[in-house]
Amino acid sequence: MSSFKEVSATEINEVMERSLIAFQEYKRISSDDKALFLETIATEIEALGDALIEQASSETNLPAARLVGERGRTTGQLRMFANMLREGSWVEASIDTAIPDKNPPKPDIRKLLIALGPVVVFGASNFPFAYSTAGGDTASALAAGCSVVVKAHPAHAATSQMVYEAIQKAIAKTKMPPYIFQHVHGSSFESGKALVQHEATAAVGFTGSFTGGKALYDYAAARKNPIPVFSEMGSINPVLLLPDSLEKNAVSLAKQYAASITLGMGQFCTNPGLLIAVESEGLNAFIEALSNEIEKTIPANMLHAGIHAAYNKKMQDALTEKGVALIKQSSNKTENLQALPTIAKVSGEIFLQNSVLHEEVFGPYSLLVVCKSMDELIEVWRSARGQLTTSLMGTDKDFADHPALLQTAESIAGRIVFNNVPTGVEVCPSMVHGGPFPASTDSRFTAVGIHAVKRWVRPVCYQNCPQQLLPVELQNDNPKKIWRLLNNEWTRDIIK
């Protein structure tokens, strides 16, 4: 899809070697200077103005308003990490002072988080800004102190190139190591493999399909020295429609979910692809209202021809699976790369027997699983393990009647949504965007929010280190006044 030349093996080697050298130089740059660098990237992206929005819209078919919002999210993330660096407590400094008269003497031990090394980032097709070139993975890795190499997504390679050039300006303006951020083009698995398996590569971030994310994980695990891979992959985001809520709120639930299912033509990893409910009058009312909403939806173009073709194939295949019945599609005609919003249903019994129905259909498609009982609903829900989110639409009565729901939700997903839709990932410290495999390859981390930085760091400790050699965050006088765990108590105090 891209007019850019595929990166060669020789170039990858050069890029990664330069990245390692830049990483070592970047280590000597202060947190405040790194913060300024991140802010300058944000400013330079903004300085691209409408040209960037137009380029992205022409490559992704996403409307300008959506892209303006996503650009704001992207620059907001960069500034959020800049603030995190200026404040400084993110390094999780911990100090245990010496006890010389203990037997044996207890040494002075001090710990903090340091950067892993060069990080390779593979961006997402559905977020050309926020999960791509200068997106969350890049921003968090640069904040952590890592150098970054982005493989431009071939579906929006020219957009990626523009953002890369903005970052280059920021590098020059803030006097950062020239190769602290590099950018390569390519669409082959071989390029991905070579980037992941290069000796200098220390960690990998990926957002996209299960096939791509799992392949990178496998390449990394097969290295002589395995490295961490955080792949954020597909998810069907099961939604429980609980009985009392269906009885009381059928129409409003239907409106809320019709909007979520079709938002951005369903091209979100948090799209609600699976609705689960027990048969009831309330459910019938919900189905009727949801049908009315879906019927009225206006199809829009999908991101690119590959995603459009995959949606049509997977959606149509799903509808031909035994026991699956179409509920409703948009009554509007489609043309070009437009997707047809579609809802279907199946019984709980058949869903449990057919694992094909558990797979993501990336696009505005959702499958309603109609269960005979709450027990079957729980069984259906539990069978869909490894999700970014799961949502519980219920009244106080529903939650009182079924007190064990939360424990199951925790075992399934990284984020549990109550009486809300899973689409819309708030960028804040408490956000978890990740989850048990296959939602991600490492459920111990989040891809969104300041704690996304933790994917790219490791702790190191200093035993009996002279004051003048210690990182500034661990020095007695705590010049940045950061929070530190001092002899197992949190404090911002200095050490006398």
Contact 278, 377 (CB under 8 A): yes
**Which is nearer to a second copy, 293 or 398 (by Cβ)?**
398
Q: For the chain, give the number of residues.
A: 496
State the DSSP code for 338: B
Give the CA angle between residues 249, 254, 257 to the nearest 5°.
120
Contact partners, residue 322, CB within 8 Å, separation at least 6: 350, 354
Is residue 466 a contact residue for a second copy (CB under 8 A)?
Answer: yes
Is there binding between residue 464 and a second copy (CB under 8 A)?
yes
Q: Interface residues for a second copy in 274-303 (CB under 8 A)? A: none
Q: Could you give the CA distance from residue 373 to residue 268 in angstroms, rounded to a whole number? A: 30
Q: Tell me the longest C-alpha to C-alpha distance in the chain.
A: 82
Q: Which stretch binds a second copy (CB under 8 A): 6-14, 57-65, 320-328, 466-474?
A: 466-474
**Mask 376-405, x = binds a second copy (CB under 8 A)?**
----------x---------x--x------
Q: Which is nearer to a second copy, 128 or 422 (CB)?
A: 422
Q: Shortest Cβ distance from residue 422 to a second copy (Å)?
A: 8
444 CB-near residues (< 8 Å, 6+ apart)? none
141 vs 204: CA distance, rounded Å: 10
Please give the single-letter amino acid code of residue 445: F
d(CA 300, CA 73): 23
Residues 6+ apart with CB under 8 A from 313: none
* Contact track, a second copy, 57-96, x by CB under 8 A: --------------------------------x----xxx
Query: 39, 269, 293, 376: which one is catalytic?
Result: 269
Q: Identify the residue among 114, 215, 285, 319 touching a second copy (CB under 8 A).
A: 114
**Cβ pair 82, 64 in contact under 8 A:** no
CB of 108 to a second copy, least distance (A): 9
- What track of x and - describes contact with a second copy for positions 416 through 455 (by CB under 8 A)? xxxxx---x-x-xxxxx-x-xxx--xxxxxx---xx--x-
Where are the alpha helices (H) located in 88-156, listed in sequence order? 136-144
| CB closer to a second copy, 155 vs 425 | 425
Least separation in angstroms between residue 357's CB and a second copy is 18
- For the record, the structure tokens of 222 come out as 């097969």
Q: Contact with a second copy (CB under 8 A): which of 18, 71, 73, 111?
A: 111
Angle at 137 between CA 448 and CA 190, to 5 degrees: 135
Least Cβ distance, residue 54 to a second copy (angstroms): 25
Q: Tell me which DSSP letter residue 7 carries.
A: P
DSSP annotation of 113 reads: E
Considering the complex, state which of residue 114 and residue 319 has its C-beta at the smaller distance from a second copy: 114
Contact 444, 476 (CB under 8 A): no
- Burial classification of residue 359, based on how many CB atoms lie within 10 Å of its CB (0-12 exposed, 13-18 middle, 19 or more buried): middle
Interface with a second copy, residue 493, by CB under 8 A: no
Q: What does the alpha-carbon distance between residue 134 and residue 170 come to, in Å, rounded to a whole number?
A: 12
Is the CB of 156 or the CB of 433 nearer to a second copy?
433
| CA distance linking residue 207 with residue 136, whole number of Å | 10
210 touches a second copy by CB under 8 A: no
Q: Identify the active-site residue in 39, 44, 232, 360.
A: 232
463 forms part of the interface with a second copy (CB under 8 A): yes
Shortest distance in whole angstroms from residue 42 CB to a second copy: 19
Binding status of residue 22 toward a second copy by CB under 8 A: no
Site size with a second copy, rule: CB under 8 A: 74
16 is a contact residue toward a second copy (CB under 8 A): no
Residue 141 CB partners (closer than 8 Å, separation 6+): 119, 121, 148, 203, 205, 455, 456
Annotated active-site residue 371? The verdict is no
* 232 carries an active-site annotation: yes
For position 366 contacting a second copy by CB under 8 A, the verdict is no
CB of 59 to a second copy, least distance (A): 26
Smaller CB separation from a second copy, 122 or 445: 445
Residue 314 interacting with a second copy (CB under 8 A): no
Binding to a second copy by residue 116, rule CB under 8 A? yes
Query: 425 CB contacts (<8 Å, ≥6 apart)?
Result: 270, 431, 433, 448
Least separation in angstroms between residue 429's CB and a second copy is 5
Q: Which of 13, 295, 458, 472 binds a second copy (CB under 8 A)?
A: 458
Tokens standing for 92?
């999780």
Report the distance separating Cα 439 and Cα 386, nearest Å: 5
Tell whether residue 413 is a contact of a second copy (CB under 8 A): yes
Site for a second copy in 179-208 (CB under 8 A): none
Which structure tokens are listed for 324? Answer: 């699956």
Residues 214-243 that bind a second copy (CB under 8 A): 217-218, 221, 225-228
The correct pick among 109, 319, 327, 374 for binding a second copy (CB under 8 A) is 109
Q: How far is the CB of 196 from a second copy (least distance, A)?
A: 14
Report the catalytic residues: 232, 269
